[in-house]
Amino acid sequence: MDPKDLKYTPSHEWVKVDGDVATIGISAFAVEQLTDLIMIDLAKAKPGTTLSAGDPFGEVESVKSVNDLYAPISGEVIEVNPAVEANVAAIGEDPFGSGWILKLRPSNAEAELAQLLDYDAYQKKIAEDAH
Protein backbone atom coordinates (compact mmCIF):
# COMPACT_ATOMS: atom_id res chain seq x y z
CA MET A 1 0.00 0.00 0.00
CA ASP A 2 1.15 3.51 -0.70
CA PRO A 3 1.50 5.39 2.62
CA LYS A 4 0.16 8.50 0.85
CA ASP A 5 -3.20 6.77 0.29
CA LEU A 6 -3.75 5.93 3.97
CA LYS A 7 -5.39 7.75 6.87
CA TYR A 8 -3.59 7.98 10.21
CA THR A 9 -4.36 8.38 13.90
CA PRO A 10 -2.26 10.60 16.17
CA SER A 11 -1.23 7.34 17.92
CA HIS A 12 0.36 6.07 14.65
CA GLU A 13 -2.16 3.49 13.42
CA TRP A 14 -3.06 3.62 9.74
CA VAL A 15 -6.21 2.53 7.94
CA LYS A 16 -7.11 1.88 4.32
CA VAL A 17 -10.74 1.27 3.40
CA ASP A 18 -11.35 -0.68 0.21
CA GLY A 19 -15.04 -1.32 -0.37
CA ASP A 20 -16.43 -2.93 2.78
CA VAL A 21 -13.04 -3.93 4.24
CA ALA A 22 -10.72 -1.72 6.30
CA THR A 23 -7.11 -2.82 6.72
CA ILE A 24 -5.29 -1.52 9.81
CA GLY A 25 -1.63 -1.42 10.78
CA ILE A 26 0.97 0.79 12.42
CA SER A 27 3.18 3.27 10.61
CA ALA A 28 6.85 2.92 9.76
CA PHE A 29 7.48 5.86 12.12
CA ALA A 30 5.91 3.89 14.99
CA VAL A 31 8.03 0.85 14.15
CA GLU A 32 11.18 3.02 14.13
CA GLN A 33 10.28 4.57 17.49
CA LEU A 34 9.56 1.21 19.11
CA THR A 35 12.74 -0.36 17.68
CA ASP A 36 12.95 -4.14 18.15
CA LEU A 37 9.44 -5.61 18.32
CA ILE A 38 9.27 -8.73 20.48
CA MET A 39 5.58 -9.53 20.96
CA ILE A 40 2.07 -8.65 19.87
CA ASP A 41 -1.11 -9.41 21.79
CA LEU A 42 -4.31 -9.22 19.76
CA ALA A 43 -6.60 -10.98 22.26
CA LYS A 44 -9.12 -8.12 22.03
CA ALA A 45 -9.27 -8.37 18.23
CA LYS A 46 -10.73 -11.81 17.61
CA PRO A 47 -12.88 -12.13 14.48
CA GLY A 48 -16.47 -11.25 15.32
CA THR A 49 -15.43 -8.63 17.90
CA THR A 50 -16.94 -5.18 17.40
CA LEU A 51 -14.59 -2.26 17.97
CA SER A 52 -15.39 1.44 18.26
CA ALA A 53 -13.01 4.09 16.99
CA GLY A 54 -10.42 4.68 19.70
CA ASP A 55 -10.90 1.29 21.40
CA PRO A 56 -7.69 -0.53 22.30
CA PHE A 57 -7.55 -3.79 20.34
CA GLY A 58 -4.15 -5.07 21.36
CA GLU A 59 -0.65 -4.35 22.49
CA VAL A 60 2.70 -4.37 20.78
CA GLU A 61 5.79 -4.87 22.90
CA SER A 62 9.31 -3.83 22.01
CA VAL A 63 12.55 -3.93 23.92
CA LYS A 64 11.72 -0.35 24.99
CA SER A 65 8.05 -0.39 25.95
CA VAL A 66 4.55 -1.86 25.69
CA ASN A 67 2.12 0.21 23.64
CA ASP A 68 -1.61 -0.11 23.13
CA LEU A 69 -2.98 -0.38 19.60
CA TYR A 70 -6.16 1.61 18.93
CA ALA A 71 -8.88 1.12 16.33
CA PRO A 72 -8.81 4.09 13.95
CA ILE A 73 -12.43 3.44 12.92
CA SER A 74 -15.37 1.40 14.17
CA GLY A 75 -16.37 -1.99 12.83
CA GLU A 76 -16.41 -5.75 13.21
CA VAL A 77 -13.08 -7.58 13.13
CA ILE A 78 -13.10 -10.04 10.22
CA GLU A 79 -9.46 -11.13 10.14
CA VAL A 80 -6.24 -10.91 12.12
CA ASN A 81 -2.99 -11.25 10.19
CA PRO A 82 -1.66 -14.72 11.07
CA ALA A 83 1.85 -13.81 9.84
CA VAL A 84 2.04 -10.97 12.37
CA GLU A 85 0.70 -13.14 15.20
CA ALA A 86 3.29 -15.81 14.37
CA ASN A 87 6.18 -13.35 13.98
CA VAL A 88 5.75 -9.75 15.15
CA ALA A 89 8.89 -8.81 13.18
CA ALA A 90 6.70 -8.97 10.04
CA ILE A 91 5.33 -5.55 11.03
CA GLY A 92 8.80 -4.01 10.93
CA GLU A 93 9.69 -5.70 7.66
CA ASP A 94 6.72 -4.21 5.76
CA PRO A 95 4.47 -2.02 7.98
CA PHE A 96 2.36 -0.79 5.04
CA GLY A 97 2.06 -4.14 3.27
CA SER A 98 2.41 -7.68 4.55
CA GLY A 99 2.78 -6.32 8.12
CA TRP A 100 -0.88 -5.24 8.34
CA ILE A 101 -2.44 -6.18 11.69
CA LEU A 102 -6.17 -6.65 11.23
CA LYS A 103 -9.10 -6.19 8.90
CA LEU A 104 -12.55 -5.09 9.88
CA ARG A 105 -15.90 -4.39 8.29
CA PRO A 106 -16.39 -0.67 8.96
CA SER A 107 -19.65 0.57 10.44
CA ASN A 108 -19.20 4.34 10.02
CA ALA A 109 -16.18 4.69 7.73
CA GLU A 110 -16.99 7.91 5.90
CA ALA A 111 -17.59 10.04 9.01
CA GLU A 112 -14.72 8.49 10.98
CA LEU A 113 -12.17 8.70 8.15
CA ALA A 114 -12.89 12.44 7.94
CA GLN A 115 -11.63 12.75 11.54
CA LEU A 116 -8.25 11.12 10.77
CA LEU A 117 -5.03 12.65 9.45
CA ASP A 118 -4.11 12.43 5.79
CA TYR A 119 -0.50 11.68 4.82
CA ASP A 120 0.67 15.31 4.80
CA ALA A 121 -0.94 16.13 8.16
CA TYR A 122 0.56 12.95 9.64
CA GLN A 123 4.04 13.85 8.34
CA LYS A 124 3.68 17.29 9.94
CA LYS A 125 2.61 15.72 13.24
CA ILE A 126 5.58 13.32 13.40
CA ALA A 127 7.99 16.14 12.50
CA GLU A 128 6.57 18.17 15.41
CA ASP A 129 6.78 15.13 17.73
CA ALA A 130 10.46 14.72 16.85
CA HIS A 131 11.30 18.15 18.30
The string of pLDDT tens digits covering residues 40-97 is: 999 899 999 999 999 999 999 999 899 999 999 999 999 999 999 999 999 999 999 9
d(CA 47, CA 96): 21
Beta strands at 50-51 and 37-41: parallel, antiparallel or unpaired: unpaired
Of the pLDDT bands very low, low, confident and very high (cuts 50, 70, 90), residue 104 is very high
3-state class of 52 per DSSP? coil
2 Cβ contact list (under 8 Å, min separation 6): 96
Residue 113: per-residue pLDDT: 95
Beta strands at 13-18 and 21-26: parallel, antiparallel or unpaired: antiparallel
Give the whole-number percent of the chain exceeding pLDDT 90: 89
Of the pLDDT bands very low, low, confident and very high (cuts 50, 70, 90), residue 1 is confident
The structural architecture, per CATH, of the domain 3-114 is Beta Barrel (2.40)
Of the pLDDT bands very low, low, confident and very high (cuts 50, 70, 90), residue 131 is low
Domain ranges (residues) in the chain: 3-114
